[in-house]
């Protein structure tokens, strides 16, 4: 229980730090302007079981990977405002979920969950990207994602 509280508190802190960094940036992180070409050999999105095997057990971590797997081509076209394009060379939000990076980062999780929800609501990729660029993903409350379908 104490471990779960610590992990949740850590995610809140990372969100605050990333949000502060995001608000100071005027340029858009790397992303793709269209879906991946069929010829591109992309790494798969990690499965919830793979994430659990690495010790990530919080519901928001598992749910983010479940949702990312349902909208990988959309995530391919989204920027990631944790700035992982600069720190680890990611090409889009999709890159965050090809590894455990997304489970470490509340910004990545919020963006992926937001993109999934928006796509499910019938929004286009262009509309979703514009909303992410406006920071609307920050409305996602990671403490309440377990109930999202």
Domain-wise residue ranges, the chain = 2-147
Using alpha carbons only, give the angle 78, 36, 44 rounded to the nearest 5 degrees.
85
Output the six-digit token pair for 29. 């992180």
Determine contact, residues 130/97, Cβ cutoff 8 Å: no
Give the end-to-end CA distance of the chain in Å, rounded to a whole number. Answer: 25
Tens of pLDDT along the chain (149 residues)?
555 544 444 544 444 444 434 444 458 988 889 989 887 789 999 999 999 999 999 999 999 999 999 999 999 999 999 998 888 888 999 999 999 999 999 999 999 999 999 999 999 999 999 999 999 999 999 999 877 77
Q: Which residue has the tokens 């990545």?
A: 108
**Within 13 Å, how many C-alpha atoms sit on residue 125's CB side?**
15
Q: Is the pTM above the cut of 0.75?
A: yes
CA–CA dist 94, 78 (Å, integer): 8
């Amino acid at each position: 229980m104490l471990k779960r509280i610590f992990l949740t508190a850590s995610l809140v802190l990372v969100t605050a730090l990333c949000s502060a960094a995001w608000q100071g940036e005027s340029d858009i992180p790397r992303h793709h302007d269209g879906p991946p070409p069929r010829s591109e050999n992309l790494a798969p999105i990690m499965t919830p079981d793979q994430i659990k095997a690495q010790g990530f057990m919080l519901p928001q971590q598992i749910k983010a990977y479940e949702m990312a797997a349902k909208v990988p081509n959309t995530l391919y076209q989204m920027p990631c405002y944790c700035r992982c394009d600069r720190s680890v060379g990611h090409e889009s939000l999709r890159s965050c979920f090809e590894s455990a990076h997304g489970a470490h980062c509340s910004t990545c999780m919020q963006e992926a969950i937001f993109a999934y929800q928006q796509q499910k609501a019938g929004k286009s990729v262009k509309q979703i990207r514009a909303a992410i660029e406006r920071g609307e993903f920050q409305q996602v409350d990671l403490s309440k994602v377990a109930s999202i379908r």
